Structure 1
C-alpha cells in the first residue's frame, strides 16, 4: 500500500499504524498528489490511502489518472466534513470507502481491511482464470500434437517481455510488428500470432493502449498542445490521434482535458502546481 497526505503530522500518524500486523506492507509515502502519482506508477500498489485535498494533484484527479492505467488499484480516502461531496464522488468512481477527519485509527483500519478483502478476492479470481487459461492452452497443444517443453515456454515468455520493454521505451517512434520481428530475428507472421496468443491482444492494440496511457499523462500538462501530444506518442496525424483517443476513453482529448481541469477548478486546485 501507499499513503499520500500533504500534512506531515497526519502522514507520520498514518505511517505509525500497525500495518504489518494487519497484513499490509507500506511501500511508499507521498507528500502531495504528484509524488503519489510517481510512487503508484513505479511501485504498482494494491491499495492507496490518500487525502482528498492535496496540492498539485488532488485525490480524485489522482484516482482518475491511475484508473485509466490500472483499474485494479483500490482506494480509501481521508476527507473533512466540508468535502463530503468529493468523498461521495470518489465512491461513485469506485473507491472502497472514506474516513472523516480527525482520523480514527480504528475506522482507517476498518476501511483498509475491506479493501484487503476485495484485493484477495480479485487475486483468487485472477489465479483461477489464469489456471483455466493454462489448462486450455495445454489441452490445445495436446490436441495439435505439439506439447511445448517447459524450456521453450520460458523462452517464449522472454520474447514477449522483450517486446513489451521495447514498446515502453520506443512508443514515440514509428513501430510495426515487422520492425520488431526483424530486430528479434523472427518471421512477422509467427511473432504476431505468438504475441496475440501470449498476451490476448494484437500487437497494434497493445501499442495503441500504451500510447493512450502516455497521452493521458501529457494532457494533465496545460502547456502541451494536443497536436504536440499526438506527435510525442508516435502518431503523426493529430486527427487520427483524436479518433483513437475517443475510441479508447469515450471522449476527445480536449474534452478529457476540460473535464480534468474543470474538476480541479471546482476543488480550487491546479494540475501544474508545484
Structure 2
C-alpha cells in the first residue's frame, strides 16, 4: 500500500484529513504533523510515499519542507494545500517538485483525487523499476554466458602466462585504444611472434577477441535504458557510434536498439548471444 503523511497547523483540518477513507483507497496513514519540522522528521522515519501538507506552518513552512524532504527523498510525492491569495507560493512549490495542489477550503473529493493521481504515478514508477530490474537480471545472465564464451574462445588451453596477462588487461581496459603492438613493446616480444603466439593460445586473433569483449560489455550496458547508444559506444572503446552499431549487428544479428528492445520485451533468446 502507499503510505501518506499529513501536515497542517490547524487542528480541525488535521482531524478532517485524518478521517478520510485512506485504507479504502489503498493508502496507509503513516503520521500526522502540526508543523514543518515534525513533518520532515516523520518523512525521514517512515519513508512515506506521499506528503500532504499546508503551505503556511510554524517552524518550517511548506515550501522549505518540500525543498528539504525532496532533497533527501527525490521520489516523494508532495501535494500541498493553499489558499487563493497564496498562489504565488503554489507556483514556487511546483518549481520545487510538488506533484499537485488543493485550494482551501479543502474539498475531500478533490484531495482524494490528487492523492489517487500521485498513487498511480508511484505505482507506475515502481513497475518501471521492477521491469528495469528484470532487464538487468536478464543481462547479468547474458553477461555470465558471454563471459564464458569469450573465455572459452580465448583462453581455453592457454598455458602462456604472457597471453593470460594480456587477456586480463583486455578485460579491464577494453575502453582504451589497445593494440598488440603496445603489448609487444611492454612484454618485449617481436610483434610478429606475439601475433602468432596469441593466435596459437586463444584460437583467434587479437582484434577479434577485443571486439568480442567490447560487444559483451556493450550488451550489459544496453540493459540500462537511460544510457544512450552513442554513450555506450564510447564507453566500450568505439569513437564512431555508427561503426559500433555495424559491429554489434554483425556480432549478434541485431542492432543495439533492437537488442535493447528484445530485452525490454523479454524476446531475446540466450542462444543467439
TM-score normalized by structure 2?
A: 0.52
- SS at the partner of 2:91? helix
Which aligned pairs between 1:104-253 and structure 2 lie closer than 5 A? Answer: 104-145=107-148
Equivalent-residue separation in structure 1 for 2:5 and 2:145 (angstroms) = 44
2:70–2:97: 8 Å Cα contact kept in structure 1? no
Aligned to 1:103: 106
Q: What is the CA–CA distance in structure 2 between the aligned matches of 1:69 and 1:35, rounded to whole Å? A: 15
Deviation track 1:74-99 (CA, whole Å, cap 9, x = no partner) reads 01001112211101211222212111
The reply to whether residue 21 of structure 1 matches residue 30 of structure 2 is no
Aligned equivalents of 2:15 and 2:57: distance in 1? Answer: 16
Q: CA RMSD in A?
A: 1.9
CA distance in 2, matches of 1:135, 1:69: 31
Q: Which protein is bigger by CA-based radius of gyration?
A: 2
Q: Unaligned 5+ residue runs, structure 1?
A: 147-199, 201-274
Find the aligned partners of 2:33 and 2:141 in 1 and give their Cα distance: 44
Q: What residue number does 2:201 align with? A: none
SS of structure 2 residue aligned to 1:127: helix
> What is the Cα deviation at residue 142 of structure 1?
2.9
Counterpart secondary structure, 2:101: strand
Is the partner of 1:27 in helix, strand or coil? strand
Partner of 1:64: 67
2:46 aligned residue (34, 43, 47): 43
Q: Which runs of 4+ in 1 moved over 4 A?
A: none
Superposed CA offset, 1:100-132 (max 9, x none): 111110110111111111111111111111111
What is the aligned counterpart of 1:91 among 83, 91, 94? 94
Aligned residues: 148
Secondary structure class of the residue paired with 2:51: strand
Aligned to 2:85: 82
The 8 Å contact of residues 37 and 60 in structure 2, kept in 1 or not, is answered as yes
Deviation at 1:57, TM superposition (A): 0.8
* Shift in Å, 1:145: 4.1
8 A Cα contact 2:70 2:76, kept in partner? yes
Distance 1:111 1:9 in 2: 20
Larger RCO (alpha carbons 8 Å, 6+ apart): 1
Distance 1:138 1:2 in 2: 40
Q: Distance in 1 between matches of 2:45 and 2:14?
A: 20
Task: Output the CA distance in 2 between the equivalents of 1:129 and 1:135.
Answer: 10
Distance (whole Å) between structure 2 residues aligned to residue 10 and residue 40 of structure 1: 20
**Deviation for aligned residue 1:134:** 1.3
Partners of 1:35 and 1:25 in 2: CA distance:
18
Which whole-Å CA distance do the structure 2 matches of 1:117 and 1:30 have between them? Answer: 24
Unaligned runs of 5+ in 2: 150-223, 225-273
TM-score, normalising length: structure 1: 0.52
